[in-house]
Amino acid sequence: MPNSPTYGIPYPCEGAAISPADFAAFAAGVEAAIASANAAITAARKGVYAIQMATVNPAVNTPTTFTFTASAENSSSGITVGATSFTAQTAGVYLSSVYFILGQSLTSTTTATYGQIGMRVGAVNQNLDKRRGYSSLVLPRQQATGMLILGVGSVVDYQYLWGGTGALSAPVLAKITLERLTTL
Amino acid sequence: MITVGGHGLTCPDPQDYAAQALYMQSQALTIDAYLAGIAAQVTTSTMRPTAIFTFSSTIFVGPTFADGYASPDVLTYSNIPGATADATITFDTPGTYIYGAYTSLSASGAITAGSYRKVRISAIKDPDSAALETNNTEEVTFETNTGGERVTNKSGFISANIGDVYRLAQYEADNNASSMLVNAGSMIWITRAASNDLIEVA
């Protein structure tokens, strides 16, 4: 029997003797087509995004890459997740955010003059959020949001840099997201 | 054939019983095309209208309460037909939009203690009209010493209808002894976050 072009719904040829099995195959084909379309629509509506928990503990004046510690959610295979980076599987415009869920205290002999988030594509900085440190011993929480135009296989990672003296008392914890807005 | 429902499906009349194979072919192709159309429509609708505008050169603002636009000049990316390089947007798709900026600011010259540099990304509706309607998101950096580079990201929301015109970006400085620079490479962006309509499957 021939099939319909997209979803392969089978139907008998004109003039052929039609059996009950033909109706059964037709009905099963319609059922499968609806299920297939529904799955495609659900996937499209869900979008392509990845959310990772991450940590970093850089020495002063040393840009250091965030390490992914756990996956909060990854909607599809459109973005693959490595130990420290995302890889785009389709060319598109992406929106990315880094948000500190836990800033950190500084050691008692430490001063911080600024903190800086770097979003990198292929190890080249794209967007930054730079903020002066407070005079207290607490490194301020930060967030950065930026647009990235990525090609197939583009690798995105994130760095944190702070200036001053001394050391952090513990790692900074962050949530990092990458979402595809549209394909190119 | 008798058409049933609103999706082009048919039911055979008694005189069509001899043409059941043709009927099933017709149904299969109609259902196939209908489902493919829905899937394509949903996929297209998830491609969010987005535009990115970039400053190709450094813009001077200031020195004292210089409150005005520093417009980008490059349309880096857009799938919004009504977007122009100076970050003016005529919307053709209604919805709620999120806009933001990656802005590199720095002071030019000596810094006045206690002065500020401000990034205010204003979504100004109908910028040529007398009655401005603005939606602002802004961030201020106060100077306590000799200053230095300042880079920040901010974002806000607007609700736009078809034909609405918005212009983005405004920068303000209050440095008595210096100007402010919006550095080359700074960018402003906007993307559609959601529809304003209730979508009904019928």
Q: Is residue B100 part of a domain?
A: yes
Report the 3 state secondary structure along A91-149: CEEEEEEEEEEECCEECCCCEEEEEEEEEEECCEEEEEEEEECCCCCECCCCEEEEEEE
ipTM above 0.85, yes or no: no
List per-residue pLDDT tens for chain B, 202 residues long. Answer: 777 777 777 777 766 666 778 888 888 999 999 898 888 888 777 789 999 999 998 877 766 555 556 788 999 999 999 999 989 999 998 899 998 888 877 777 777 766 667 777 777 776 666 555 666 666 666 654 444 556 677 788 888 888 888 888 766 666 666 677 788 888 889 999 887 765 555 5
Q: Does B152 touch chain A (CB under 8 A)?
A: yes
Q: Is residue B108 part of a domain?
A: yes
Same domain, B28 and B98: no
**pLDDT for res A22:** 85
- Residue B163 sits in a domain whose CATH number is 2.60.120.40
A33, B32: Cβ pair inside 8 Å?
yes
Domains of chain A from N-terminus onward: 1-46 (no CATH), 48-183 (2.60.120.40)
Instruction: Please calculate the CA angle B142-B145-B146 and round it to the nearest 5 degrees.
Output: 105
Same domain, B9 and B61: no
Chain B residues closer than 8 Å to A22 by CB: 24
A18, B21: Cβ pair inside 8 Å?
yes
Count the domains in chain B: 2
**Which residue has 């944190």 as its token pair?**
A160
Average pLDDT over residues A124-152: 75
Same domain, B7 and B78: no
Q: Is residue B95 part of a domain?
A: yes
Chain A residues closer than 8 Å to B148 by CB: 114
Q: Does A44 touch chain B (CB under 8 A)?
A: yes
Chain B residues closer than 8 Å to A16 by CB: 21
**pLDDT for res A44:** 78
**pLDDT for res A53:** 95
Q: pLDDT band at A47, cuts 50/70/90?
A: confident
Same domain, B177 and B83: yes
Nearest residue in B to A15, CA atom? B21
Q: Does B48 touch chain A (CB under 8 A)?
A: yes
**How far apart, in whole angstroms, are the C-alpha atoms of residue A74 and residue A78?**
9
Q: Is residue B122 part of a domain?
A: yes
User: What Å distances lie between residue B176 and A111, A158, B27, B65, B114, CA to CA?
Assistant: 29, 37, 76, 9, 10
Instruction: Please calculate the CA angle A102-A105-A111 and round it to the nearest 5 degrees.
Output: 130
Same domain, B171 and B137: yes
Chain B residues closer than 8 Å to A3 by CB: 28
Q: Is residue B200 part of a domain?
A: no
Same domain, B64 and B30: no
Q: Does B69 touch chain A (CB under 8 A)?
A: no
pLDDT digits (tens, 9 = 90+) for A106-123: 777 777 777 888 899 999
Q: Is residue B201 part of a domain?
A: no
Q: Does A101 touch chain B (CB under 8 A)?
A: no
Same domain, B77 and B139: yes
**pLDDT for res B63:** 60
Q: Is residue B202 part of a domain?
A: no
Q: Which two tokens stand for residue A65?
A: 């890459």
Same domain, B35 and B115: no
Same domain, B36 and B67: no
**pLDDT for res A4:** 92
Q: Does A10 touch chain B (CB under 8 A)?
A: yes
Q: pLDDT band at A137, cuts 50/70/90?
A: low
Query: Looking at CA atoms only, how far is residue A169 from chain B in angstroms?
Result: 26
- The pTM of the full predicted model, rounded to 2 decimals, is 0.80
**pLDDT for res B137:** 67
Chain B residues closer than 8 Å to A130 by CB: 149-152
**pLDDT for res B107:** 72
Same domain, B59 and B119: yes
Same domain, B126 and B142: yes
Same domain, B40 and B55: no
Q: Which domain holds residue B35?
A: 2-45
